[in-house]
Chain A
Amino acid sequence: MNPAPLLSVRDLEVGFATEGGLLQAVDGVNFDLRAGEVLAIVGESGSGKSVTAQTLIGLTRSKNSRIEGSVKLEGEELIDASDATMRRLRGDRIAMIFQDPMTSFNPVYRLGNQIIEAIRAHKGEKLDKAQARRRVVELFDAVGIPDAERRIDDYPHEFSGGMRQRAMIAMALALEPEVLIADEPTTALDVTIQAQILHLLEDLNRERGLATILITHDLGVVAEVADRVLVMYAGRIVEDGTLDEIFYDPQHPYTWGLMGSLTRLDRPRPHRLPQIAGSPPSLLDLPDGCSFRPRCPHEFSKCPQLPDLKARLSEAPDHRDRCWLPAAEKREKRQVEGQIGLEAPAEARRV
């Protein structure tokens, strides 16, 4: 049997009070994360993936946010934990790295000192300066920053983007966390550097048994490293399965659309890059039922009711989705020009 999950999220809801009303950024998210597992959360901008991740470490707490549900780290509830508890846990047990390494370090402090600051925030003054520096040098070595001894005294602007992201990862690893949340860690990097950073994350994940949540909109990145994939749309999970299930047997039309908009090197180049027609709905004004309904060419009479996220295939009990279409019909409808994709809507086809 599967071991008990390290991190367990149940019915997570995050809403923000705005001038236009309550904005439900995350609505009923459930997932488990096990040690050594890489969980990818995929979705467009505004799908709630970053808010979900930041909520796990309490960064979305504010006067204007309303957070409900349950987040348990090894059985300990985090949603109603005190701010002080959350502070001790951040960086120490759950670390996070961010999208833009250019702006995620404070420009006025030396990189080494910013990492020492993180170590000291948790270890206090027990750690003397020389020990802390040695630790940072070790970390820089571990993430492949050459000449670590000298470079820990550099300022962020003296590092390239890829090196900065490595330093960011070094900082996240400083306290040997159990969970690493990587919020679009490669989006701001060159493609060649992206691959290096992904492989670094993969190695760390394998060597240290680090559970990783990878937030991205890049399915190429997902294919490279993920074990499980959550697909989010408008604050809800629309599909959840293993990497193979999502890539070879996707059940939700939105997932088909994502797959269809990948360009593939092994196929003839399309005349126009495929896209999902329309744009994501406003979170303040969601349609009834399935949120993807207005953009879905396969909409039918059941869609105005919200389908549950549940396993709909008898052979894959952990592959869950939110779509009313019968499985056989899905397998037929997702074939567009010999590959998985989302048909263009009727009006577009006529043009």
Chain B
Amino acid sequence: MLRFIVRRLVGMVFVLFIVSVLVFVIFNVIPNSPPAQRLAGKNATPVLVKSIEEEWGFDEPLPVQYATMMKKVFTGELIQYSPRIPVNEQIEEGIPATFSLSIGAGIIWLGFGLLLGYLSAVRAGGKLDKLLTVVAIAGISIPVFLIAPVLIYFLTYKLEIFPNGGYVKLTSDPWEWLTHLILPWFTLAVLSIGFYSRVLRSNMLDAMNEDYVRTARAKGLSERQVMTRHVLRNSLIPIITLFGLDFGATIAGTAIITEVLYNIPGVGYYAAHAISNLELPPIMGVTLYGAFFVVFFNAVVDIGYAYLDPRVRLGASAQ
């Protein structure tokens, strides 16, 4: 198992290296204009452009340029030029909000997705299943930019149950933190709840026909034990894969729309502003940050996978 983890982490570092090279190529090599000009921002002075050109070593060979960029990324010298703010500080500032939003939403969508999917599968073909199918399809079909304004309009303006957007730090007021995040959490989770419940339902219906489920019944387990220990447990494996990918992607940027709509100053909010102002260094930084989390959660998922399914471990140790 340890060997498997180490192998997976080494793989992760390799993937991140490839991603960073791609980011370098896309931002600094491919565009057909002086990179310093673009990095400097829209209304940069020639002096600033000149100093950026020297700082980034754009007259050096490409591998040296790549090394310079990576050095800046790791030492916190990747800087947004107008106004002059280090990118890593901005990202660090946004992380608590983005993580609060993503983790809460992740728990909600996984919890509700599993619950609704389980109920649907156990009652397959029944009234409850049909109702949940409609709910799930509706959840999948309604886009975030529709659901958020509707929720804000009814629950915030009309009924005044929830505060109107913004973010309060967990450390300064946990209750306010919670009430500010409930609507964004559900907004972000709705699509995945629908999707996960459908996937779990069909996985469970497949698993119910497996021979080992018949064996479990034949040895006299109760229907609930059969469903939870054998059907559900084996159906969770693909769900975990999906969750790792989706959760990584949410932290990495899927939450952008939700953060903007609810005025939450997270990483996505920062990225959205950088994009509208054509600030390249922040976009570069956020891209690398996003790539890191996607790859990281993928590795976590693979390790969790090996825990859930012993056959995966065998494949690793056999090599």
Interface residues of A, Cβ cutoff 8 Å to B? 57, 59, 83, 87-92, 95-96, 98, 100, 103-108, 117-118, 121-122, 155, 157-158, 168, 171
Given A87-B220, A98-B218, 12 new contacts (CB under 8 A) = A91-B219, A98-B215, A103-B212, A104-B214, A106-B230, A106-B233, A108-B234, A118-B219, A121-B219, A121-B225, A157-B311, A157-B314
Q: For the complex formed, measure the closest distance between the CB of A143 and the CB atoms of chain B, giving whole angstroms.
A: 16
Query: A117 CA to B36 CA in the complex, in Å?
Result: 67
On chain B, which size bracket covers the interface? 20 to 34
The reply to whether A96 and B218 contact each other, CB–CB distance below 8 Å, is: yes
Docked CA distance A104–B215 (Å): 6
B26 is an interface residue with CB less than 8 A from chain A:
no
Q: Summarize B's interface: helix, strand, loop or mixed.
A: helix
Nearest-CB distance from A214 to chain B (Å)? 16
CB-CB under 8 A from A91, the residues of chain B are 218-220
User: Contacts of B168 on A, CB cut-off 8 Å?
Assistant: none
Chain A: CB-nearest residue to B213: A106
Chain A residue numbers with a CB within 8 Å of B223 are: 83, 87
Q: Is B220 within 8 A of A121, CB to CB?
A: yes
Q: Is the CB–CB distance between B314 and A90 below 8 Å?
A: no
The reply to whether B220 and A105 form a contact with Cβ atoms under 8 Å apart is: no
Interface residues of B (CB under 8 A from A): 210-212, 214-223, 225, 229-230, 233-234, 308-311, 314
With A105-B212, A155-B310 as known contacts, state yes or no: A90 contacts B234, CB within 8 Å: no
6 A-B pairs with C-beta separation under 8 A: A92-B220, A98-B211, A98-B214, A105-B215, A118-B221, A121-B220
**Closest-CB distance, B238 to chain A (whole angstroms):** 13
One of B218, B221, B229, B308 near A95 (C-beta < 8 A):
B218
Closest residue of A by beta carbon distance from B313: A155
Find out whether the CB atom of B310 lies under 8 angstroms from the CB atom of A107.
Answer: yes
Question: Which residues on A sit within 8 Å (CB–CB) of B234?
Answer: 106-108
- What's the nearest-Cβ distance from chain B to residue A249, in Å? 36
Q: How far is the CA of A117 from the CA of B229 in the complex (A)?
A: 10
Q: Does the CB pair B218–A100 fall under 8 Å?
A: no
Given contacts A87-B222, A103-B210, A157-B310, contact A108 B233 (CB under 8 A): yes
- Contacts A98-B211, A98-B214 given; does A108 touch B309 at CB 8 Å: yes
Question: Which residues in A have their C-beta under 8 angstroms from that of B225?
Answer: 121
When distances are taken between beta carbons in the complex, the residues of chain A under 8 Å from B221 are 87, 117-118, 121
When A107-B310, A108-B234 are in contact, do A122 and B220 touch as well, CB less than 8 Å? yes
Check if B211 sits within 8 Å of A100, measured CB to CB. Answer: yes
A171 CA to B221 CA, complexed, in Å: 13
Q: Is the CB of A107 within 8 A of B219?
A: no
Task: Report the bound CA distance from A334 to B95 in whole Å.
Answer: 85
Residues in A whose Cβ lies below 8 Å from that of B212: 103-107
Among A59, A92, A118: residue with most chain B CB under 10 A? A118
Q: Which residues of B contact A158 (CB under 8 A)?
A: 314
